[in-house]
Amino acid sequence: MFKNATEFAGDTFLRNMGISKYPSQTGDSGAAIVHHGEDVATLIGVHRGTICIFSAASEGYPLVDTRHYFPWCGILPSVNNYKIFSAWENVEEELNLVRPG
């Protein structure tokens, strides 16, 4: 849903994150996010968790705060909440992974 989002995690800002809606539950952090389309499975990123406040300024959303819509946001990782993940391209770059071929 959003690319290049910024998460406000206490005193830390996590930049270049992806935001979407997909089912997850407690303990899913670090799990691969895979998109299945036709006969192809594509690795999208790595799940971080549920998010309530973020910025996607590059896409026209300087601040998104869902706490007034979902007062349980951050407590119950339901499908209604936004999910945040590290895009696979960022993981590759950070870990200096080389694609075969």
Q: Give tens-digit pLDDT for 25-82.
A: 888 999 999 988 889 998 889 998 888 777 887 777 777 777 776 666 666 656 567 8
Please report, for the chain, the start and end positions of each structural domain, with discontinuous segments joined by +.
5-82
State the DSSP H helix or E strand holding residue 93, giving kind and residue range, or none if neither: helix 88-95
99 pLDDT higher than 80: no
Q: Give tens-digit pLDDT for 2-39.
A: 788 888 777 777 788 888 888 888 889 999 999 888 89
Q: Would you say the C-alpha torsion 86, 90, 96, 100 has a positive or negative sign?
A: positive
pTM check: above 0.95: no
In this prediction, what percent of the chain has a pLDDT beyond 90?
8
State the DSSP H helix or E strand holding residue 68, giving kind and residue range, or none if neither: none
Placement of tokens 């952090």 in the chain: 29
